[in-house]
Structure 1
Amino acid sequence: MYLAEQLVEEENKDMIKGFDWYLLPVLNPDGYEYSHKTHRLWRKTRSKTSNPFCDGVDLNRNFGFHWMEGGASGNPCSEVYAGREPFSEPESRAMRDFLQTKMPNVKGFLTFHSYGQLVLSPWGYTKTLPEDHDELVRMASIYTSAVASENNIRYTVGSTSNELYIASGGSDDWAKGVAGIPYAYTVELRDTGRNGFLLPSSQIIPVGRETWSGLRAFTKELDRLANQGNIRLELGRNDPEPSPGQMGKSANPRFSSKVSLP
C-alpha cells in the first residue's frame, strides 16, 4: 500500500506517464487472514485437498510452467504442495488470466516475498540460466543499488535455483517462460534471518521506502530502454516448449521472449 500511495503523489507523476502499474497487494487473501487469526506462519492457500487433515496449496509451486519438476511436492501435507495440477487454485488462475489479457505489453513483473534480501531471476525449476541472464542481473542490480542508497540495506542478485534452491511452478518462471514478460523477478524482502518472517512493524515504512527507491530506478531504466528502442523482444524459444500439463488448463499460447540489447 506504501507503493500505491507513492504512485499518486505529485512528485512521482513521472512514474505513471509511460507505464500502467498493476498492484496486487495479496494473492492469497484466505491464507493471509488465516495467518493472522489462527496460524501465524501459515504459507499455503486454504483450499481442501485429497487429505482431510491437510489443507492448502503452495501458490509458489502452482503455476503451469515446468510444474512439479523439482523443489515441489505431491503430498498435500507438505509446505510446498504444488496442487493436484497446474493452476488448480483460483488465486493462481486469476493472476494468469489477468496477465494474459495484457500480453504482450507487460515488460516487468515483480513478486514480493519474505525473507532474505534477494532479487531472484528465472529460472527456479533448473540451474540452467536463460540466455539473457546477464541482462536480468544488470536490471536487478540497478534495483538493488537504489535500495542500498536509501537505507544501506544490501540485496543479493541471482537466479532462484542458484541463490536459493530448485523451485518449480513459481509465478516468475511462468511470467517469463510462458507470458513472455522480459524482466520477471521474485524479490525477497528484509531481513536475512534475525527476525525472519516476523519482521517488526517498525521496519514496514523503511522497507517501503527502499522498495520504492528500487522500483523508481528500475522503472526509469526500463523507460530509457523503451524510448531508445533498445529493448528487442525476440519471440522465439529461450526454453523448451512446455507440455499442455505444464501450461495449465485453458492457457493461451505462450509469448516466449528473451531480451537483447544492441
Structure 2
Amino acid sequence: MLKSFAFLLLLCGTALAADSYDGYKIYDINTRTVFEKELLLRLSRNADLDFFDLPRSLEAASRVMVQPKDQVGFEQLLQKFGVEYSVVDEDLGVSLRQEQLENQSQRLMAQRSTARSISFSAFHRHSEINAYLDELAAAYPSRVSVQVAGKSYENRDIKTITISNGDGKTGKSVIFLDAGIHAREWIAHAGALYVIHQLVENFAANSALLKNYDWVILPVVNPDGYEYTHTSTRMWRKTRKPASASCYGTDANRNFDYHWGEVGASSYSCDDTFKGQTAFSEPETQLVRDLLLNLKGRGKFYLTLHSYGNYLLYPYGWTSALPASWRDKDNVAQAGAAAIKASTGTKYTVGSSTNVLYAAAGGSDDYAFAVDEFPISINMELPAGGTGFYPTTAQILLYGYETWTDIKAMRQKVVENY
C-alpha cells in the first residue's frame, strides 16, 4: 500500500536551501493510526520535505515545510489516504521577513539601551554573544573565565564560559551545557545566554546553584551555521564545511562516535540529517568531544539545548532499549517538567529520545552518557515559536525563564544523587 506514494520519495533535489522561502507552506498533520504515522516516517526520508516535528505519539501533530513545487502532490497524497492536515503558514517567506525586521529593530534598540552586548529582547549574532562572554569575564574575574575552546571550519572562535562561586577550589563536579548544535534553533542559543546571565549577573539569588559545582557553558556549538541563518538561509540546520562537491554541512547531532550512522541519519551529503563522511568529521563536534573528555570523572550533568517541541529527552537515541540507569535520568527530567508546569503551565513530555520522538544515532547526549560517563544526560527541546523555529522576540524572556526554571529543578535532583 505504501508503494503508492513512492513517487514522492523519488523527488529529486537537494536539502532545502532557499534564501527567501517565498511560497513555502508549513503543514500540521494529524495522524490517527499507526499506518498514517508510518506514512509520515517514510515521507520524512525525502530531503525535499523538511519535517520540523515527527513525534511517535498519535495524539501529537507532525509539522512539515513543503516547497511550492511539491505542495500539490503532497496534499493529494494526504487526501488519498484520508490523513488530516492544516496549513499553519501560507507563506513562510513573508513570516521570515517579518521576523528579520523585528529582530533587527530589537537589536538596534538593545545596543542603545544596555551596556552589555546582548539583551533578551532580540536574537544576537555570534560576535555579540562572544563579546558578552568576554564582558562577563572582565567584570567578574573571580567567578568567570572564558576560553577559546577551538575554531569552527570558517575560523570563528568557539568560546566556553566557566562559572564558579569564586571560592578558588579546584576539581569540583561540573554541569556542562551546550546549545546551537543545529543552526536554525535560535531560541536554544538565547536559552543558554539566559542561564549564563542568571548564574553570573544574578549571582546573589543563585549562589547556591554554584556550591560544589562549576558550570561550563558553550552557547554556540555551530557558529558557521548560525551566522548563515542570519545572513543567507534562515532554516539552515547543519555545519558549513563542504560535505561533497555540491553540498555543504553535516548534521552535528548525528556526527558523534557512538553507534554513529546506525539509524536515523543519512549517508547523502545534501540531506539535513547527513551523518558526515566519518564520525567526528566536523571541527565543531571534535571540540565538544574533547571538552567532554577532559571532564570525565567530574562531569555529572550534561544538558544540550535544542528546539523545538517541549521535550526532555534522555538516552538512548540509537535504540528503543533503555540504559540500566534510565530511572535516574527520568527522575531528573520529570523534576524539571514538573517545575515548568507549576510555574507557567507549560507541559513538557519526558522520555527516551527513541521512544518519544524517533531513533537518531550519533547524538551528543548519547555520547556524553555512554562514552564520557556523565551519569545524567538530557536533551531539552524548547517550545516552538511562530510555526516552529522562529519565536518572536517577545517570547525570548518567557522561554528563557522556563528553561531556567527547568534547569534549577533538574540541577537540584542531580546534586541530591551525585
Tell me if both proteins adopt one fold, taking TM over 0.5 as the criterion: yes
Aligned to 1:233: none
Aligned to 1:38: 232
The 2-side partners of 1:101 and 1:182 are apart by 15
> Structure 1 residue 179: deviation in Å?
0.6
The 2-side partners of 1:116 and 1:65 are apart by 24
Query: 1:201 is matched by which residue type in structure 2?
Result: T
| Gap runs ≥5 in structure 2 | 1-192
Query: 1:42 is matched by which residue type in structure 2?
Result: W
Of 156, 163, 166, the residue aligned with 2:359 is 166
The 1-side partners of 2:378 and 2:410 are apart by 12
| Gap runs ≥5 in structure 1 | 227-262
Mapped contact 1:58–1:82 kept (Cα < 8 A): yes
> Structure 1 residue 142: deviation in Å?
0.3
Query: 2:359 is matched by which residue type in structure 1?
Result: I
**Aligned runs of 1:117-132 on 2, under 5 Å?**
117-132=310-325
The 1-side partners of 2:301 and 2:255 are apart by 21
Mapped contact 2:306–2:382 kept (Cα < 8 A): yes
Of 296, 301, 309, the residue aligned with 1:103 is 296
The 2-side partners of 1:137 and 1:169 are apart by 21
The 2-side partners of 1:49 and 1:5 are apart by 36
Moved over 2 A (4+): none
Are residue 222 (structure 1) and residue 414 (structure 2) matched?
A: yes
> Structure 1 residue 224: deviation in Å?
2.1
The 1-side partners of 2:319 and 2:208 are apart by 38
The 1-side partners of 2:350 and 2:417 are apart by 21
- Structure with more of its chain in strand, by fraction: 2
- What is the TM-score of this pair, normalised by structure 2? 0.53
Of structures 1 and 2, the larger Rg is shown by: 2
Give the SS at the match of 2:312: strand
**Aligned runs of 1:70-149 on 2, under 5 Å?**
70-149=263-342
Aligned to 1:4: 196
User: 1:131-188: per-residue Cα shift (whole Å, max 9, x none)?
Assistant: 1112211110001111112211110001111111110000000011111111001110
The 1-side partners of 2:249 and 2:220 are apart by 16
Query: 2:236 is matched by which residue type in structure 1?
Result: W
Are residue 195 (structure 1) and residue 387 (structure 2) matched?
A: yes
Mapped contact 1:18–1:223 kept (Cα < 8 A): no
The 2-side partners of 1:165 and 1:103 are apart by 28
The 1-side partners of 2:220 and 2:320 are apart by 29
Mapped contact 2:314–2:329 kept (Cα < 8 A): yes
User: 1:84-108: per-residue Cα shift (whole Å, max 9, x none)?
Assistant: 1110000000011011111111000
Aligned to 1:67: 260
> Structure 1 residue 206: deviation in Å?
0.5
Are residue 47 (structure 1) and residue 234 (structure 2) matched?
A: no
Aligned to 2:71: none
Mapped contact 2:386–2:392 kept (Cα < 8 A): no
> Structure 1 residue 223: deviation in Å?
1.7
Query: 1:49 is matched by which residue type in structure 2?
Result: A
Give the SS at the match of 1:23: strand
> Structure 1 residue 31: deviation in Å?
0.1
The 2-side partners of 1:127 and 1:3 are apart by 31
The 1-side partners of 2:230 and 2:348 are apart by 28
Aligned to 1:13: 207
Of 324, 339, 345, the residue aligned with 1:152 is 345
Larger relative contact order, structure 1 or 2 (CA cutoff 8 Å, min sep 6): 1
> Structure 1 residue 117: deviation in Å?
0.2
Aligned to 2:126: none
Aligned to 1:23: 217
For the structure 1 residues 187 and 30, does the alpha-carbon distance in structure 2 shift closer, same or farther, using more than 3 Å as the test?
Answer: same
User: 1:42-89: per-residue Cα shift (whole Å, max 9, x none)?
Assistant: 000000122x22100000100000000000011101110000111000
What's the C-alpha RMSD, in Å, of the aligned pairs? 1.1
Mapped contact 1:65–1:173 kept (Cα < 8 A): yes
